[in-house]
């Protein structure tokens, strides 16, 4: 997500780094480029303007012009402003003192409301909070079935009355949760393809009837500025308390992530990163800013890792890494584990400096079985010390695994990349990023 913007900014700052001392016109030039990069990422014009102005003010008032490392000073200012732009501190869900806690999902049709009602319910379940999902989208019958399927998948109850008045369904749903002693209710509401007054009135009525503690606006990040405009309208009518930005796994340019908070005042609370019910991440402005600026996102990576590794596994791995005993057997094992966390290429992007250091390393998601065959055709010694793999050994392995020598070469290269990534991770200390002056 936001790769293009990250690359653009990275290129601007790299050029800056090669300049040495800066004068005012250098800074003005850089800011112009930053502004263009933001607009190309589909950031709303007033947001981009304000962003650049704030950087200008800060740069003038700081030591950028006299600094011996001006590029780093500029990056630091941009980082701080990016974090601020996206809402500063991470915003969490609010719970009600008088259960059930009611969350209302609102947004346009196709934005991902139903999917994210399920994702959110699963997340709460993992935290020990049960949810009753309420199907109040009566205009799209498939939405009710979709929610029921999701409910079965995550083993949570779904309340529906098939048809009738969505306001009544919402009210009855909350009463049912109370009766059953279920602490959380998530109401999936109807969407339209565009803003529609009747829908807004209906949502206002549901809001008045069930008094949700949170109204979560579900925004499709792929629609960029349009998502921001729609968010503004929903906010004016309903007063949204948070945003769930969906489809951030796609090639969303990022405009919505950067503009929506400034344009609505509502914080982004979660991002959707895939169709699977587990593809939900809490939104941390600082981590995303780090990702955009190519500093990786170690904390999210660690959280993902924790969700698939046991502590013992993690400890064993850390020990191997420390002793540089990481072998191709371990690599195969990691590959299988890491695939559980999501796309390998996305994961690699979270590691500071890695995408810059190895811009062309692409891991083919479908290649694990091939990889397995290749590793299985190696001798124990070869797996432990891949540096002994000369031409004839590689030929033998290719033959044995039914692959090409080029496949074997590719795998060895990937292994080396992976070793490097592990080394970086192993050497990383919390709060310290390579080549970056953190406070």
Alpha-carbon distance 393 to 168, whole Å? 71
Q: Are strands 242-246 and 214-220 parallel, antiparallel or unpaired?
A: parallel
Please identify, using beta-carbon distances, which residue of 247 and 261 lies nearer to ligand GDP. Answer: 247
Alpha-carbon distance 304 to 338, whole Å? 9
Tokens 């004068």: give the residue: 23
Is 254 a binding residue for ligand GDP by CB under 6 A? The answer is no
Is 112 a binding residue for ligand GDP by CB under 6 A? The answer is yes
Q: How far is the CB of 391 from ligand GDP (least distance, A)?
A: 43
φ, ψ at 102 (rounded to 5°): -110, 125
**Cα-only R_g, the chain:** 25
Of 100, 166, 173, 191, which lies in the binding site for ligand GDP, with binding defined by CB under 6 A? 191
φ, ψ at 285 (rounded to 5°): -55, -40
Please identify, using beta-carbon distances, which residue of 146 and 300 lies nearer to ligand GDP. Answer: 146
Find the part of the chain contacting ligand GDP (CB under 6 A) among 174-182, 247-255, 327-335, 355-363. 247-255
Of 111, 131, 355, 418, which lies in the binding site for ligand GDP, with binding defined by CB under 6 A? 111
Residues 361-400 contacting ligand GDP, CB under 6 A: none
Q: How far is the CB of 124 from ligand GDP (least distance, A)?
A: 17
Is 274 a binding residue for ligand GDP by CB under 6 A? The answer is yes
Q: Is the peptide bond before 100 cis (omega within 30 degrees of 0)?
A: yes
Of 273, 293, 301, 374, which lies in the binding site for ligand GDP, with binding defined by CB under 6 A? 273
Q: How far is the CB of 275 from ligand GDP (least distance, A)?
A: 4
Q: How far is the CB of 104 from ligand GDP (least distance, A)?
A: 13
Q: How far is the CB of 254 from ligand GDP (least distance, A)?
A: 14
Please identify, using beta-carbon distances, which residue of 140 and 380 lies nearer to ligand GDP. Answer: 140
Spatial contact of 260 and 234, defined as CB atoms under 8 Å apart: no
Torsion angle, alpha carbons of 30, 35, 36, 39, to 10: 160
Q: How far is the CB of 118 from ligand GDP (least distance, A)?
A: 8
Is 247 a binding residue for ligand GDP by CB under 6 A? The answer is yes
100: its two tokens: 């059930």
Query: Alpha helices, DSSP H only, in 86-216?
Result: 113-126, 141-154, 166-180, 197-210
Please identify, using beta-carbon distances, which residue of 245 and 408 lies nearer to ligand GDP. Answer: 245
261: its two tokens: 């908070």
Alpha-carbon distance 428 to 225, whole Å? 36
Residues in contact with ligand GDP, counted by CB under 6 A, come to a total of 20
Spatial contact of 157 and 151, defined as CB atoms under 8 Å apart: yes
Is 115 a binding residue for ligand GDP by CB under 6 A? The answer is yes
**Does the annotation list 132 as a binding residue?**
no
Angstrom CA distances, 415 to 153, 327, 369, 419, stand at: 36, 9, 15, 6
Q: How far is the CB of 173 from ligand GDP (least distance, A)?
A: 17
Q: How far is the CB of 128 from ligand GDP (least distance, A)?
A: 24
Find the part of the chain contacting ligand GDP (CB under 6 A) among 63-71, 271-279, 333-341, 376-384. 271-279
Is 113 a binding residue for ligand GDP by CB under 6 A? The answer is yes
Find the part of the chain contacting ligand GDP (CB under 6 A) among 36-44, 90-98, 106-114, 423-431. 106-114
Sequence-separated contacts (24+) of 6-12 with Cβ below 8 Å: 6/291, 6/292, 6/293, 6/294, 8/33, 8/37, 8/40, 8/41, 9/34, 9/37, 9/78, 9/292, 9/293, 9/294, 10/293, 10/294, 10/356, 12/37
Alpha-carbon distance 55 to 82, whole Å? 10
Is 123 a binding residue for ligand GDP by CB under 6 A? The answer is no
Is 250 a binding residue for ligand GDP by CB under 6 A? The answer is yes
Is 342 a binding residue for ligand GDP by CB under 6 A? The answer is no
Please identify, using beta-carbon distances, which residue of 101 and 111 lies nearer to ligand GDP. Answer: 111
Q: How far is the CB of 240 from ligand GDP (least distance, A)?
A: 15
Going by C-alpha positions, the residue among 202, 256, 251 that lies closest to residue 229 is 256
Please identify, using beta-carbon distances, which residue of 34 and 136 lies nearer to ligand GDP. Answer: 136
**Does the annotation list 112 as a binding residue?**
yes
Is 278 a binding residue for ligand GDP by CB under 6 A? The answer is no
Q: For residue 123, how many C-alpha atoms fall within 13 Å in the half-sphere facing its CB?
A: 20
93 Cβ contact list (under 8 Å, min separation 6): 103, 214, 242, 269
Of 126, 275, 315, 365, which lies in the binding site for ligand GDP, with binding defined by CB under 6 A? 275
Binding residues for GTP: 107-114, 188-192, 246-249
Q: Binding site, residues? A: 107-114, 188-192, 246-249
Residues that bind ligand GDP (CB under 6 A): 107, 109-115, 143, 146, 191, 246-247, 249-250, 272-275, 279
């Amino acid at each position: 997500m936001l790769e293009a913007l990250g690359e653009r900014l990275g290129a601007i700052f790299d050029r800056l780094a090669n300049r040495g001392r800066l004068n005012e016109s250098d800074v003005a030039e850089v800011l112009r480029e930053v502004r263009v990069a933001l607009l190309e990422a589909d950031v709303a014009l007033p947001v981009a303007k304000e962003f650049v102005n704030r950087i200008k003010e800060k740069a003038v008032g700081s030591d950028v012009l006299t600094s011996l490392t001006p590029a780093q000073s500029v990056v630091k200012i941009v980082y701080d402003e990016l974090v601020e732009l996206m809402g500063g501190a991470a915003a969490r869900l609010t719970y009600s003192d008088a259960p059930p806690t009611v969350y209302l999902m609102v947004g346009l049709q196709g934005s991902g409301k139903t999917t994210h009602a399920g994702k959110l319910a699963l997340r709460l379940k993992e935290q020990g909070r049960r949810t009753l999902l309420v199907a109040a989208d009566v205009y799209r019958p498939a939405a009710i079935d979709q929610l029921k399927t999701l409910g079965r998948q995550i083993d949570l109850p779904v309340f529906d009355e098939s048809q009738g008045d969505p306001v009544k369904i919402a009210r009855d749903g909350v009463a049912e949760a109370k009766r059953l002693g279920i602490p959380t209710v998530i109401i999936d509401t109807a969407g339209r393809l565009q803003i529609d007054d009747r829908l807004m009135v209906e949502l206002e009525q549901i809001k008045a009837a069930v008094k949700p503690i949170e109204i979560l606006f579900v925004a499709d990040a792929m629609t960029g500025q349009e998502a921001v405009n729609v968010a503004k309208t929903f906010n004016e009518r309903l007063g949204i308390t948070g945003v769930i930005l969906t489809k951030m796994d796609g090639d969303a340019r990022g405009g919505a992530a950067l503009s929506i908070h400034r344009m609505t005042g509502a914080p982004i609370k979660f991002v959707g990163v895939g169709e699977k019910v587990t593809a939900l991440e809490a939104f941390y402005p600082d981590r995303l800013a780090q990702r955009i600026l190519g500093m990786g996102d170690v904390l999210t990576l660690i959280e993902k890792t924790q969700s698939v590794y046991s502590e013992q596994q993690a400890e064993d791995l850390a020990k191997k890494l420390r002793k540089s005993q990481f072998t191709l057997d371990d690599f195969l094992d990691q590959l299988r584990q890491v695939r559980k966390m999501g796309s390998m290429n996305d994961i690699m992007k979270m590691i500071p400096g890695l995408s810059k250091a190895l811009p062309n390393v692409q891991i083919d998601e479908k290649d694990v079985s091939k990889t397995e065959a290749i590793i299985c055709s190696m001798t124990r010694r070869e797996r432990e010390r891949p540096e002994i793999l000369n031409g004839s050994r590689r030929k033998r392995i290719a033959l044995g695994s039914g692959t090409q020598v080029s496949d074997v070469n590719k795998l060895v290269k990937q292994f080396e990349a992976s070793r490097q990534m592990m080394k970086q991770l192993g050497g990383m200390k919390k709060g310290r990023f390579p080549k970056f002056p953190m406070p």
